[in-house]
């Protein structure tokens, strides 16, 4: 029966997961592209890609988006001279070569028609072999352009990832050693040869060398400006970052030292066991002294607190009834509304009804909303006691450090000073966290915390005589607190059950308290109403290299 319930949820989860979860795991260790320019104006391209796969795969992909006015023809794929099956989907080529946990090298061949433009002063090959639509990293990429015949007249230029990566050989070939190329990058390459090397190519009026030289001059000017700005950013970062870090460290140390001094000044009674004064309701005491995440055990203890306050009367081990006494706190009324009005008949409720109510999926939202409201109202009670100091000046100062560090991170990141950027981000996040969440506890707050912690510790080895010396209300408050913060250990204490009996005798009331039953009911209800969901998303990118062309690599 459980599997029948789980399977539909698993199916929905699988449908909602992003597509990338099921993607093939691979790396492209090496990519080598050889473009041989032909006399007739076509370009014969041979590419070799070395893939390292982790897991099953069906093949690889190569996207070739031709520039406007050009065309890709004659696409083939081989591995060790063995021809591989190819399917084309628009500009995407799927090369079928299945396997599992392998490293393979695939050779691709194709011809680019119309890629060479012949002008009065030279013939240009200006091409994007990949562009920002590429979704795979190339760990090591090399692009080589070869002329139809040896020549010593060649101009070349690389853009973006190919900038300053080109080297010309004595025979006129130009090799762009790009190294690692991250996904989403552009890297157009541009080479100009003597027009006489391409007698069969169609001519176009105009010149092209001046354009390339102008682009090169602009690139060099931009690179020089970038280097100067990078040096300035480095100088500023190396001065500002240590200063910000030292100021922040001083503030953090001061805050820590002040907190230690406050705690050291607290004097908790050591001469005898006592239950702290009722400055907070029991759920609020648990929230403030133990954890802001109230567990089902805390809800069980809150019900016991309602019994202690005579707002609720226990009729039997399983049944509770409203006495007519009004709740004094909003979270008490919220708990009453949930248990007696939503689950019960308006006057009484049974523990068995809580679990039955929570098993119905239609009730999950109402139950969770009520519990969330109860948690918020418990938190509001604690906030209303003002156990935390307001330190706007200090938080404002630290917020300014966070803002300055964030600006420094952006500034150094723009100029590729990544170590400084990372440290600036660390300082910014630390400062922002401090500014947002730092609220030092007051002396009174430390006292309340220390008293409850001391009581919890003392109860572990408390003699029966001291326990019995407490009045009935204090015994029940202490017992309920321990149930909320340490319910599992409480079940093992034999005196736990005597607390209920003694309370009943001394207050002339009925109390049939079974901690295992009470906590178990609320734990089961919490488990029944817990729902997890996941969602996926997809995105579409657009971009391109020169002339709208480009491409990329992948696998399937």
Per-residue pLDDT, averaged over 350-371, amounts to 92
Which residue, chain included where needed, has tokens 């907070």? 280
Residue 553's pLDDT band (cuts 50, 70, 90): low
Q: How many helices (H) and strands (E) does the chain have?
A: 14, 19
The rounded percent of the chain whose pLDDT value lies above 70 is 84
Q: Is 108 helix (H, G, I), strand (E, B) or coil?
A: strand
Q: What is the pLDDT of residues 201-223, one digit of tens each?
A: 888 888 888 888 988 888 888 88
Residue 367's pLDDT band (cuts 50, 70, 90): very high
Worst-scoring range by mean pLDDT, 51-60, 126-135, 225-234, 540-549? 540-549
DSSP 338: I
- Res 54: pLDDT: 85
What residues contact 530, with CB distance under 8 A and at least 6 apart?
A: none
- Res 491: pLDDT: 54
- Res 21: pLDDT: 41
Residue closest to 308 by CA, chosen among 81, 504, 33, 91: 504
**What's the pTM?**
0.60
What residues contact 154, with CB distance under 8 A and at least 6 apart?
A: 147, 168, 172, 174, 191, 192, 193
Worst-scoring range by mean pLDDT, 175-189, 391-405, 419-433, 443-457? 443-457
- Res 546: pLDDT: 59
- Res 47: pLDDT: 94
The phi, psi pair for 56, rounded to 5°, reads: -70, 150
Q: What is the DSSP string of 426-481?
A: HHHHHHHHHHHH--PBPHHHHHHHHHHHHHHHHHTT--HHHHHHS-HHHHHHHHHH
264: Cα within 13 Å, side-chain hemisphere: 6
Q: Is 132 helix (H, G, I), strand (E, B) or coil?
A: coil
Q: Is 176 helix (H, G, I), strand (E, B) or coil?
A: strand
pLDDT at 273 over 80: no
Per-residue pLDDT, averaged over 426-440, amounts to 90
Q: What is the pLDDT of residues 483-499, one digit of tens each?
A: 888 766 565 554 444 44
Give the whole-angstrom CA distance, residue 176 versus residue 552.
Answer: 17
């Amino acid at each position: 029966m459980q599997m029948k319930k789980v399977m539909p949820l698993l199916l929905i989860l699988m449908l909602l997961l992003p597509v990338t979860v099921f993607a093939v795991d691979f790396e492209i260790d090496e990519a080598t592209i050889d473009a041989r320019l032909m006399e007739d104006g076509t370009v014969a391209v041979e590419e070799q890609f070395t893939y390292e796969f982790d897991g099953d795969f069906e093949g690889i992909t190569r996207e070739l988006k031709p520039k406007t006015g050009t065309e890709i023809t004659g696409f083939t794929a081989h591995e060790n001279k063995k021809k591989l099956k190819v399917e084309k989907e628009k500009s995407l080529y799927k090369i079928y070569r299945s396997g599992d946990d392998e490293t393979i090298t695939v050779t691709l061949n194709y011809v680019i028609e119309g890629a060479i433009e012949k002008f009065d002063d030279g013939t240009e090959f200006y091409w994007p072999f990949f562009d920002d639509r590429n979704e795979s990293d190339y760990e090591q990429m090399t692009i080589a352009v070869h002329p139809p015949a040896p020549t010593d007249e060649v101009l070349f230029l690389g853009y973006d990832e190919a900038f300053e990566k080109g080297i010309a050989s004595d025979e006129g070939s130009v090799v762009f050693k790009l190294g690692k190329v991250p996904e989403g990058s552009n890297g157009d390459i541009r080479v100009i040869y003597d027009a006489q090397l391409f007698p069969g190519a169609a001519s176009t009026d105009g010149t092209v060398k001046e354009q390339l030289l102008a682009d090169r001059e602009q690139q060099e000017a931009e690179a020089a400006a970038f280097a100067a700005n990078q040096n300035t950013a480095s100088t500023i970062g190396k001065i500002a970052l240590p200063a910000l870090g030292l100021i922040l460290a001083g503030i953090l140390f001061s805050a820590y030292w002040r907190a230690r001094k406050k705690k050291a000044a607290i004097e908790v009674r050591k001469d005898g066991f006592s239950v702290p004064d009722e400055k907070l309701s029991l759920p609020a005491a648990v929230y403030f002294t133990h954890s802001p995440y109230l567990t089902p055990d805390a809800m069980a203890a809150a019900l016991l607190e309602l019994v202690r306050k005579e707002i609720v009367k226990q009729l039997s081990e399983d049944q509770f009834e409203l006495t007519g006494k009004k709740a004094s706190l909003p979270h008490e009324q919220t708990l009453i509304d949930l248990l007696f009005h939503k689950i019960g008949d308006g006057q009484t409720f049974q523990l068995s009804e809580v679990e039955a109510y929570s098993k119905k999926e239609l009730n999950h939202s109402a139950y969770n909303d009520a519990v969330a409201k109860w948690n918020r109202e418990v938190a509001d009670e604690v906030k209303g006691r003002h156990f935390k100091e307001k330190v706007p000046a200090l938080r404002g100062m630290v917020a300014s450090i966070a803002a300055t560090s964030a600006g420094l991170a952006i500034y150094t990141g723009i100029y590729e000073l990544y170590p400084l950027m990372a440290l600036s981000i660390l300082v910014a996040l630390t400062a922002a966290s401090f500014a947002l969440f730092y609220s030092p506890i007051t002396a009174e707050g430390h006292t309340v915390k220390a008293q409850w912690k001391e009581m919890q510790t003392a109860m572990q080895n408390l003699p029966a005589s001291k326990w019995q010396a407490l009045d009935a209300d204090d015994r029940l408050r202490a017992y309920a607190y321990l149930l909320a913060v340490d319910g599992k250990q409480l079940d093992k204490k034999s005196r736990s059950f005597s607390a209920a009996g003694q309370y009943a005798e001394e207050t002339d009331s009925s109390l049939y308290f079974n901690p295992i039953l009470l906590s178990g009911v609320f734990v089961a209800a919490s488990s029944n109403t817990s729902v997890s969901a996941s969602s996926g998303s997809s995105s579409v990118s657009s971009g391109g290299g020169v002339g709208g062309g480009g491409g990329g690599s992948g696998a399937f």
